[in-house]
Amino acid sequence: MKNYLVTGGAGFIGANFVKYLLKKHKDIQIIVLDDLTYAGNLGTIKEDLKDPRLVFVKGDIKNPKVVNGIFEKYPIDFVVNFAAESHVDRSIENPQVFLETNILGTQNLLDIAKKHWSTGKDENGYPTYKDGVKYLQVSTDEVYGSLGASGYFTETTPLDPRSPYSASKTGADLIVKAYGETYKMPINITRCSNNYGPYHFPEKLIPLIIKNILEGKKLPVYGDGSNIRDWLYVEDHCKAIDTVVLNGKTGEVYNVGGHNEKKNIDIVKLTISTIRKLLEENKEYKKALKKPGDDISWINDDLITYVKDRLGHDQRYAIDPNKITTELGWYPETKFEDGIVKTIRWYLENQDWVEEVTSGDYQKYYQEMYGNR
């Protein structure tokens, strides 16, 4: 029986990972630690919490008392750290919380895991550890910076973060690596490209575009829409993390991506045409529309509005996933054309979730941050 501490398990990828683990493995115990910031929502895992293998703890990864308490109560084997401030636009407005959560939170988790996992010292003074334990840091391709028209990020690409968000994730990666070297802690780092899928908070491109279409609002595209992201269905990311937790070689970094580069403008246009097609195919889905009426001809590319570009907007990300594929046998299973339809269907069928997660300060924040665009 393995005991997982999954931080950020009420957020987008963390919650999908919890669902994945519960389906995939029988003999496990999962402790989710999440502070339920604006991006975390207990409703996302409420069905899963009926499973006795899952326990939820509300708390901050920076809080030593809370993290210690978990390690004292449960014999944690694996820490999988998803908890983070994750939105680049917010990091441009308020970098401090990104540094605090993403760097200091990571260091606190490492310190406490080290304390509880240590079994003594070897002849050179390095700590020794309980068998089979591992700390996995969920990182991002953004630590590598921005690419030009060609090339890919590999695990040896120099780190070159360009936003406060990516700088904070890079700081976290470096402290994880440092604990791996200095204290020989059993660590791995995964660096994944852009995820999409169910439970994605509607401040990120794809769920925001879906939400705005359903509300009959304009669709903001930054700059000229030519920036490129490399999209991966969230379940494929979860499978990659599970693979690295169980089989990753200690100390190694693994890039995760599905060779699926798309320009933002193409993502937006595809989302518009797919929603329209689904609404035409299934009248039930029209219930998700906030703009009344049977005529949906207004769902077209005229909804697109080009807005002021993001400061320091990275032009292109593209992951080379060769290492995780050849060494660990991971490969993405969901084709983008299928994943985007599954995702849009999920939003059409789960408007209650969207309303729940946007019922707090969402409108106020959105207005203050972006005005009436």
Per CB under 6 A, residues contacting ligand DAU are: 86-88, 140-142, 193-194, 204-205, 208, 220-222, 227, 229, 264, 310, 317
Nearest Cα to 347, choosing from 296, 291, 271?
Answer: 271
Name the active-site residue from 129, 135, 144, 165: 165
337 is annotated as an active-site residue: no
Min dist CB 234 to ligand NAD, Å, is 8
Q: CA angle 103-106-111, nearest 5°?
A: 125
Q: By beta-carbon distance, which residue lies closest to ligand NAD?
A: 11
Cα distance between residue 321 and residue 239, in whole Å? 14
Min dist CB 82 to ligand NAD, Å, is 4
356 is annotated as an active-site residue: no
Give yes or no for a contact between 38 and 110, defined as CB atoms under 8 angstroms apart: no
Min dist CB 216 to ligand DAU, Å, is 16
CB closer to ligand NAD out of 175 and 278:
175
CB closer to ligand NAD out of 77 and 85:
85
Partner touching 317 among ligand NAD, ligand DAU, none, CB below 5 to 8 Å by kind: ligand DAU
CB closer to ligand DAU out of 3 and 146:
146
- Coil vs helix vs strand at 174: helix
Partner touching 138 among ligand DAU, ligand NAD, none, CB below 5 to 8 Å by kind: ligand NAD
Partner touching 11 among ligand DAU, ligand NAD, none, CB below 5 to 8 Å by kind: ligand NAD
Name the active-site residue from 77, 85, 141, 314: 141
Min dist CB 293 to ligand DAU, Å, is 26
Partner touching 13 among ligand DAU, ligand NAD, none, CB below 5 to 8 Å by kind: ligand NAD
Q: Give, in order, the Cα–Cα distances in Å from 359 to each of 34, 42, 343.
A: 19, 14, 21
CB closer to ligand DAU out of 88 and 187:
88
Q: Please report the beta strands in the chain, taking only residues with DSSP state E, as ranges in sequence order.
A: 2-7, 28-34, 54-58, 78-81, 118-121, 127-129, 134-140, 187-192, 194-196, 219-222, 228-233, 253-256, 261-263, 304-307
Partner touching 36 among ligand DAU, ligand NAD, none, CB below 5 to 8 Å by kind: ligand NAD
Cα distance between residue 73 and residue 186, in whole Å? 21
In terms of C-beta density within 10 A (0-12 exposed, 13-18 middle, 19 or more buried), how is residue 364 classed? exposed
**Helices vs strands, H then E, count in the chain:** 13, 14
CB closer to ligand DAU out of 61 and 205:
205
Name the active-site residue from 142, 173, 236, 261: 142
- Coil vs helix vs strand at 238: helix
Partner touching 229 among ligand NAD, ligand DAU, none, CB below 5 to 8 Å by kind: ligand DAU
CB closer to ligand DAU out of 55 and 307:
307
320 is annotated as an active-site residue: no
Cα distance between residue 333 and residue 314, in whole Å? 27
Min dist CB 132 to ligand DAU, Å, is 29
In single-letter form, the type of residue at position 317 comes to: Y
What residues contact residue 251 under an 8 Å CB cut-off, 6+ apart?
180, 181, 186, 187, 188
Partner touching 60 among ligand DAU, ligand NAD, none, CB below 5 to 8 Å by kind: ligand NAD
CB closer to ligand NAD out of 238 and 289:
238
What residues contact residue 113 under an 8 Å CB cut-off, 6+ apart?
71, 76, 79, 133, 135, 185
Cα distance between residue 59 and residue 55, in whole Å? 13
Q: What is the DSSP letter of 157?
A: S
The residues of the shown chain that bind ligand NAD, judged by CB under 6 A, are 7-8, 10-14, 33-37, 39-40, 60-62, 82-84, 86, 101, 105, 138, 140, 169, 192, 194-195, 201
- Which residues are annotated as catalytic? 141-142, 165
